Amino acid sequence: MAPNQGYIIIKDGEKNRRSTYRDFFGPLDKGSAKPSFCYPKRKEALKEEVAKMERVLDSGHIAKEHEMEARVTLKTKKDRLKEIESQEGAAAKLFKENKDSWLKRRDELKTEISESMPRETDVKRRRVNPHKVLKMEKEGLEDKKKEFIVLSRLAGEDSNLSFLQKE
């Protein structure tokens, strides 16, 4: 008899699975085009809003009948801010664990996107077929652009796609 006869060996799929940029998405990002750390202005606005609400509550400039409602709203906003920051930390940790391969993937995406975008002079002279551009976007170029932006944000580099367009 063979040593493993009658047994099924199941390998742990989570360890053998290759990471994708979708791993940077968290529970807050359901339905979002990009993870929450790709929107730093929104995070700053939320921080300012929390600070403003704290100042108003501490100074007592809010009516007593609305104070409890304001405290609940403040707590939910603080919790959301804390979740965004923890998710950002988890994404940064995942990026740093395999930084070289993520940067390599970013460079690959950079060349693919640059090659598939029409030349700037052709766009200015209206030589570009908009239907062809839209078809390319739907065939995967849009996902590549999103992935490039996410990886660029994590790497701390410029994520503006207009610089990839050929002259």
pLDDT tens-digit readout, 26-54: 888 888 888 988 888 999 999 999 999 99
Tell me: pLDDT of 11 over 60.
no
User: What element of type H or E holds 14?
Assistant: helix 13-16
Which pLDDT score is estimated for 21?
80
CA distance 167 to 159: 18
CA distance 100 to 149: 17
Of 29-38, 79-88, 90-99, 143-152, minimum mean pLDDT range: 29-38
Please report which confidence band the pLDDT of residue 2 belongs to, taking 50, 70 and 90 as the band edges.
low
Residue type, 82: K
Tell me: pLDDT of 96 over 80.
yes
Of 10-14, 64-68, 137-141, 147-151, minimum mean pLDDT range: 10-14
Contact 81, 47 (CB under 8 A): yes
Residues 128, 132, 135, 140, Cα dihedral to 10°: -60
CA angle 150, 152, 156 (to 5 degrees): 120
Q: Residue 42: CB partners within 8 Å, gap ≥ 6?
A: 36
Which structure tokens are listed for 59? 């100074």
Q: Convert the pLDDT of each residue in 115-157 to its tens digit.
A: 877 777 777 777 777 777 777 777 778 888 889 999 999 998 8
CA distance 85 to 89: 6
Which pLDDT score is estimated for 54?
94
Contact 59, 126 (CB under 8 A): no
Which structure tokens are listed for 23? 């791993």
**In whole numbers, what is the pLDDT of the chain averaged over residues?**
83
**Average pLDDT of the segment spanning 64-68:** 89
Can you give the pTM of this predicted structure? 0.74
Tell me: pLDDT of 71 over 90.
yes
Tell me: pLDDT of 58 over 60.
yes
